[in-house]
Structure 1
Amino acid sequence: MMMQAKSYQYYNNTLCIPASLLYDDWGLLSYKSYLMKCYRGQLIRVREGKGKGNEALLSYHDLPQEYKMACKKNLGDYKEVALLNQLEPYIIPDVKAIDFFATHRYPDGRKLDDKIKIERATNCCILNAVKTLLTDPKQSTKAFGPKKSKIWDNISDAVNKLNEGKDEKKWFYNLPTSPSRLRSRYNRYLKEGYSSFVHAGEGNVNTIKIKGEIADYILAVYSLPNKFSVPELLDMYRMEMDNNGWPSLSEGAIKMFLDKPENVRIWTLSRDGKDIYDKKFKHTVSKDKTRWFPNVYWAIDGTKLDLTYYDPESSTKMSAYKRIDVVFDVHSEKIIGWSLSETESHVDHFTAIKMAVQTAGYRPYLLTYDQQSGHKSAKMQELYSRVIADDGGTHYPHRAYGHGNPADKLHGMLQTEVTTKLWNSDGQGIRTKKDSSHRNMEYLQQIKDSLPTKDAAIKQWEAIVRTWNEGKHSTLLVERNKLYQEEMPVSEEIQMEDIMKYIWIEEKKRPVTYRAHGLELTIDKKDYLFEVYDDEGNIDIEFRRKNVGAKFIVRYDPGSLDTFIQLLQTNQAGEKFLVAYAEPKRKFDPVPATMRDGEKVIWQKDFDVRDKEYERDLKAVAALQRRTGITPERMAADQELHIKMHGRVKKSISMDVDRKKSLLTEI
């Protein structure tokens, strides 16, 4: 009895021997040496042996060769010894599974081969055994170990070793050998039952019964967004079956019906939504690109860049340029315009388009973009309409998730081929599938003190553009710069005056008031202050006299806000006309000791404006009073007379000054 206890055995589906065989029974080493070898990893202890009735167990396959030879000599070859797999006692026949596969038919009426019947029924029996153990925590721990993270490794081990150590193959089954695939197969079995082992191409003899109102019922229920499984659908069908006189159906028959392509289209759309439906069934139109040439097609799109740079003001000491807005010439794949920023707005789109127009010197015949609100704003729509060719030019946004925007593909290639190769790039984002596209934050943390400055990161992006444009086209294998220089069969030039006319954006939200301190403008969440100066660079006092408090339509170039903006008004016919150009308001250092040379002179001129305007307007008030005779003194005299006469001053005797009536009226 003792000898039988001390033999090969499985623990957590690992072939083991009792540790005491080595130091007690066979005397191959001392207990102290045994402990030391365990500590050094020369012996792998699968079970510690702590607690009553628990004996320490060693992994057989990890034993040194001399100990394996001792095992074979004293216990026999483990392959010839009947060992009990922890899963095997729970594998019992499943009559329903046997019946299901026995009655299953191919579309032509043939039965399944006996081998396939046995394999599939045995698969179900084995998975039933796994389910039994997993629903009993005590037995599951005993069979597969206490670590949940390792449980499917141990289950897979047990399934794969069901025939190990047996003279003849006992179990005929066909289940995945890897833990992850076995787990997926198990979960599918729980959801779909026996029919999970029915392939889509197989039929069932009673599929011929699924037609008319039966077909409509099954398809309608399965199409619900609740996503009922086939077994659940069968249960619901059986509840309706007797009331409607419908025939009995099997899971396999229902699954075969649902797997018909014409039915998959219906339930996919209703059950999974349009995005999934489009991936499976959306028809696409092929593009003929052979007739394209430079500047026939521009595409603009923004994406993440994430060139990390050193930022002493950040809590992590790191920041990144998060967005690039790029205009591609689609034919050559060349970048002809771009904007680099930490946000994405219409200003970025404008800047990128402006550079593209200046680079090309020609209008595109097609300009496309995505559904981002900045592209669809009134400002950008007006600009796009002005930029495209007059003869046949068009622009439009691609549908969301439509996969038609060529800029998406080009951005991906740009990041993969160039951007992510830079040492301070933090990858393409967490949603990318490739590990090589993910950022290594540990590395970036280690080198953050060596990261480039913000200005250096801008230079890196400029180098990225040069590298890309000098690289070879993805399919034509010709340098992109050379492709862009190819002859254009048709073209429409843009003259410099046209460019200057198009680069102005009009602020359409509301007219802006010119106040005493100047004109305030907020663009892309940044505040600006402008003032009108005359031709000699002095504050235009005459403009201020006529326009402080007036409202203006503002036009500006987002890339030249440090130069000037246009102030416009409309006439009675609704036509806009230019009133003045406003420049960024001058600022001065209030500390005389730190003023630059000549700064105090200019400051004094600007400071004197307040006194000049006051004196000018004071003289204008005095002149007005002289012309009209209406003065504070005259008003006081009239009021005194009114009081003296007890309010009975007749209109006929009121004074007329310079043909103007007195401020007093008859009471």
Structure 2
Amino acid sequence: MPQLRNIPYNAACYSEGVQPGEQVLCVTVPELVGCGVSERYLKKALNYQRVGLVYCWPHHKEGREVFVHYDGMAEKYRILVDKLLCNDVPAHLWVENEEAQTLNRKLEAFKKGLRMMVEISADDMAKLNEMQLFIPADIQRIARAAGWMRLWRKMDVKTARKYGFKTVGEVQQEMFKQCLNEQMKGFVKFPKPINNERTLDRKAREYGKEGLNCLVGGYFGNVNREKMNGQTHAILMQLASEQVKYSFEDIAMFYNEQAPQLGLPKMTVSAIKQHLNTPKHKKVWYYMRHGKLVGDADMQPMIDREPVSKPDLLWSLDGTTMQLYYKKQVGGKWVVKSDLYAYFVTDACTGAIIGYSVAFGESSGMVIEALKNTIDTWGYKPYQMNYDNSSANISATVTALINNMSHVNFPCTPYSGRSKSVELVIGHFQQRELRKFKNFKGGNITVKSHNSTANPELLKELSKNLEFTNQLPTEEQVMAQFKEGVVAWNSRGEARDAYGAFIGKSKIERYAEAYEGRVKLNYFEKLSLFMVELTNKQHPFGEYEYRQKGIEVAIRGEKMKFIVPDSDSSAMDFDFSREHLGHTFKVFVNLRADRPAWVELRNRKGKKVADAYEKEKFAACVADMKSKPGEMGKVQVFNLMQKQCYEDAQTEMERQREIVEQSGFKATGTDGYGFGWWDTPKGVENARNNRIEDARNGIAEESEEEIRMRALLNS
């Protein structure tokens, strides 16, 4: 096949355009013969070329082998070589491709074994471990980086050619790619990340002069790199992590006071500050110094998310104090209050407040009211909901309601405001709308901006001013104020013009826009959203057991008992209890009512069994019954039915005994003692107990024969 060859200096060369030592594209005589050229003609033509009779067959000899120069041949022979030897491709291009393929094959074989050629020195591992400055994982990474440096320096021209490469550059290019790949995956660690071959080559030369120090010193500065050791590092980290929060100057003073006695070098404040503020060290002592919440907020990497594309794809829920003062009459005197709590339902796409509720504290009922307000106002339901882990949000009733309303829902990371879009909405709502009211008490205590807090001098002056109290709104008026603030927030446009006026569609207009696939709920769909299944976590199927007092469930934080009454006017459940006592049911409740009066019982297949109503409570004493006319009669009826229940059981048992006797079967327990002490006459049972007790005490009743024998012996 055609090949590029360097003409030896001592070779016999018969070509006018090429000199010994130069590279030329050659074809052998057997290859030309294989293309159909006569061997006899070739020998004659080559002899004529040597004596100067022809000039179209330039060639040179290497030993006894003859190589014909492709470029000097006549065109018809070049076309013949291209067609038959090079698959109809020009010979020069074909040779270039062949060399590239050969190089690629060599590179592929070299790539597979390159990472195995990186040697990790045990001495490097020991030195890094003695420094006590790195965690075990970093020791492994730095030691592997040193192995790459040694391999880079080892790869000279001779070694490269041994692996089949012409230049070192071909090998180093692949070495850099694999080293960079390991750096990105975290397998190697350099003082500063390498980003090109020149940087890696410079670091390798530094390693040849300084050894392992070039991979370690960059972490600790320049002047004090030799002073830093494991003991110094440990002492500084301990002082920096103290919860009393020593300043860097105090840390330097405490360290330098004892350093000479411990045989440690003194450190300047700037060197200590530079060392402790190294990111990998700061992430350690910062948590201990300031606590987990602050550490997470300041040191943890943050994820960046794209905005939500459409309304109702994500609702975000949370509650906070209302931050508005109001007046309330207590004991005939007006007093200033600020104890109202607001719960928000926000749309993450538009930032609109689409529902809310107000109460004196966060409860499951408050969450349900906010969701009911949202559904009733707009008639849409969300695809996803997020919320925090407060007790109100994770209660059984709220969890069941959220599961029924959304396809996806889960609580956000605790104490992480960034994970809930509602946090940002609440903060901006308070500072941009509620603060316009004179009775605004300021932002939450966690706010850092002074613009978000109320002026303390103003609040002090207003608290002394009686007119201020008189001007405060009442509880009903402050609720109207809050609603006014919500309307103003939802009316804010997308941006402001040069004069401060809002422009573009408002938040609520963008939320209310129709889009493909968005359909409002009808009346029955709204009802079904709030008809939720309560889950009993103590039962494998989430069911509740019907007991003597009915079914007991917790709704909105209140324990309630429900029974299936015998009739519409009855407060007893003798009939249903007779058939289903001890059975378990799925319990469905309608949360739209403030206090549900009934629940629906279904079997495991989802089929309705009965409606259970809240169990009526009776007074425990006669004095309380006097205030409830007719209650004494209900209690008497209940007692009669309890007695009748026992008598019905006795009657049924007697009927069954008669059937048994007629069949001729002798049942055990029917020999006068009944089936138990409760079915035995009291006199018979007492006599039996006396005999058992006497036998236990060793006083057994004697027979007549034993009495006569004892009398005979005594005489």
Normalising by structure 1, what TM-score? 0.50
TM-superposition CA deviations, 1:629-649 (whole Å, max 9, x none): 79xxxxxxxxxxxxxxxxxxx
Instruction: Say whether residues 1:331 and 2:362 are aligned partners.
Output: no
Q: Secondary structure at the match of 1:209?
A: coil
Q: Secondary structure at the match of 1:374?
A: coil
Q: Tell me if the contact between 1:218 and 1:237 (Cα under 8 Å) persists in the aligned partners.
A: no
Q: Tell me if the contact between 1:533 and 1:583 (Cα under 8 Å) persists in the aligned partners.
A: no
Residues 611, 406 of structure 1: alpha-carbon distance in 2 compared, 3 angstrom cutoff:
same
Residues 459, 556 of structure 1: alpha-carbon distance in 2 compared, 3 angstrom cutoff:
farther
Which residue of the other structure, out of 579, 594, 603, is the alignment partner of 1:561? 594
Residues 627, 378 of structure 1: alpha-carbon distance in 2 compared, 3 angstrom cutoff:
closer
Q: Secondary structure at the match of 1:455?
A: helix
Which residue of the other structure, out of 402, 419, 437, is the alignment partner of 1:422? 437
Q: Tell me if the contact between 1:532 and 1:539 (Cα under 8 Å) persists in the aligned partners.
A: no
Q: After TM superposition, give the deviation of residue 381 of structure 1 in Å.
A: 3.3
Which residue of the other structure, out of 379, 393, 397, is the alignment partner of 1:375? 393
Q: After TM superposition, give the deviation of residue 252 of structure 1 in Å.
A: 3.9
Equivalents in 2 of 1:459, 1:413: separation in Å? 19
Q: After TM superposition, give the deviation of residue 462 of structure 1 in Å.
A: 3.0
Instruction: Say whether residues 1:366 and 2:384 are aligned partners.
Output: yes
Equivalents in 1 of 2:290, 2:673: separation in Å? 91
Instruction: Say whether residues 1:434 and 2:462 are aligned partners.
Output: no
Tell me which residue corresponds to 2:611. 580
Residues 564, 242 of structure 1: alpha-carbon distance in 2 compared, 3 angstrom cutoff:
closer
Instruction: Say whether residues 1:480 and 2:503 are aligned partners.
Output: no
TM-superposition CA deviations, 1:393-418 (whole Å, max 9, x none): 44331341352321111111211222
1:407 counterpart letter in structure 2: V
Q: Secondary structure at the match of 1:560?
A: coil
Equivalents in 2 of 1:543, 1:470: separation in Å? 55
1:297 counterpart letter in structure 2: L
Tell me which residue corresponds to 2:174. none
Instruction: Say whether residues 1:298 and 2:328 are aligned partners.
Output: no
Residues 624, 284 of structure 1: alpha-carbon distance in 2 compared, 3 angstrom cutoff:
closer
1:484 counterpart letter in structure 2: Y
Instruction: Say whether residues 1:312 and 2:343 are aligned partners.
Output: no
1:385 counterpart letter in structure 2: N
> Mapping of 1:570-609 within 5 angstroms?
577-582=608-613, 609=634
Equivalents in 1 of 2:233, 2:642: separation in Å? 88
Equivalents in 1 of 2:289, 2:605: separation in Å? 55
What is the Cα-based RMSD across aligned positions, in Å?
5.0
Q: Tell me if the contact between 2:237 and 2:276 (Cα under 8 Å) persists in the aligned partners.
A: no
Residues 604, 574 of structure 1: alpha-carbon distance in 2 compared, 3 angstrom cutoff:
same
Q: Tell me if the contact between 1:325 and 1:349 (Cα under 8 Å) persists in the aligned partners.
A: yes
Which residue of the other structure, out of 404, 407, 416, is the alignment partner of 1:401? 416
TM-superposition CA deviations, 1:174-233 (whole Å, max 9, x none): xxxxxxxxxxxxxxxxxxxxxxxxxxxxx9973343445476346534443265544544
Residues 267, 359 of structure 1: alpha-carbon distance in 2 compared, 3 angstrom cutoff:
same
Tell me which residue corresponds to 1:410. 425
Q: Secondary structure at the match of 2:357?
A: strand
Instruction: Say whether residues 1:285 and 2:313 are aligned partners.
Output: no
Q: After TM superposition, give the deviation of residue 304 of structure 1 in Å.
A: 0.6
Equivalents in 2 of 1:209, 1:337: separation in Å? 63
Equivalents in 1 of 2:236, 2:521: separation in Å? 59
> Mapping of 1:106-505 within 5 angstroms?
206-213=223-230, 216-217=233-234, 219-225=236-242, 227-228=245-246, 229-230=248-249, 232-233=251-252, 236-237=255-256, 239-241=258-260, 244=263, 247-260=265-278, 263-289=281-307, 292-313=309-330, 317-389=335-407, 393-432=408-447, 433-434=449-450, 437-438=453-454, 440=459, 442-443=461-462, 446=466, 447-449=468-470, 451-473=472-494, 477-488=504-515, 491=518, 496-503=523-530, 504=532
Equivalents in 2 of 1:557, 1:249: separation in Å? 71
Residues 449, 237 of structure 1: alpha-carbon distance in 2 compared, 3 angstrom cutoff:
closer
1:460 counterpart letter in structure 2: Q
Q: Tell me if the contact between 2:586 and 2:602 (Cα under 8 Å) persists in the aligned partners.
A: yes
Equivalents in 2 of 1:626, 1:273: separation in Å? 73
Q: Tell me if the contact between 1:556 and 1:564 (Cα under 8 Å) persists in the aligned partners.
A: no
1:209 counterpart letter in structure 2: E
For structure 2, the 5+ residue unaligned runs are 1-219, 497-502, 539-543, 619-626, 656-668, 689-715
Q: Tell me if the contact between 2:566 and 2:574 (Cα under 8 Å) persists in the aligned partners.
A: no
Q: Tell me if the contact between 1:326 and 1:337 (Cα under 8 Å) persists in the aligned partners.
A: yes
**Identity percentage of aligned residues:** 18
Q: Tell me if the contact between 1:310 and 1:319 (Cα under 8 Å) persists in the aligned partners.
A: yes
Equivalents in 1 of 2:648, 2:493: separation in Å? 77
Q: After TM superposition, give the deviation of residue 578 of structure 1 in Å.
A: 4.4
Residues 617, 421 of structure 1: alpha-carbon distance in 2 compared, 3 angstrom cutoff:
same
Q: Tell me if the contact between 2:566 and 2:576 (Cα under 8 Å) persists in the aligned partners.
A: no
Q: Tell me if the contact between 1:219 and 1:263 (Cα under 8 Å) persists in the aligned partners.
A: no
Q: Tell me if the contact between 1:333 and 1:473 (Cα under 8 Å) persists in the aligned partners.
A: no
Q: Tell me if the contact between 2:443 and 2:453 (Cα under 8 Å) persists in the aligned partners.
A: yes
1:568 counterpart letter in structure 2: L
Equivalents in 2 of 1:421, 1:325: separation in Å? 20
Q: Secondary structure at the match of 1:466?
A: helix
Q: After TM superposition, give the deviation of residue 560 of structure 1 in Å.
A: 0.8
Q: Secondary structure at the match of 2:223?
A: helix
TM-superposition CA deviations, 1:231-275 (whole Å, max 9, x none): 54455356445765x555434443444455555445434444444
Equivalents in 2 of 1:231, 1:652: separation in Å? 93
Q: Secondary structure at the match of 1:411?
A: helix
Greater RCO structure (CA 8 Å; 6+ sep): 1
Instruction: Say whether residues 1:539 and 2:569 are aligned partners.
Output: yes
Normalising by structure 2, what TM-score? 0.47
Equivalents in 2 of 1:397, 1:345: separation in Å? 18
Equivalents in 1 of 2:648, 2:267: separation in Å? 106
2:569 counterpart letter in structure 1: I
Residues 550, 567 of structure 1: alpha-carbon distance in 2 compared, 3 angstrom cutoff:
farther
Tell me which residue corresponds to 1:506. 534
Equivalents in 1 of 2:653, 2:410: separation in Å? 63
Q: Tell me if the contact between 2:589 and 2:600 (Cα under 8 Å) persists in the aligned partners.
A: no
Q: Secondary structure at the match of 1:288?
A: coil
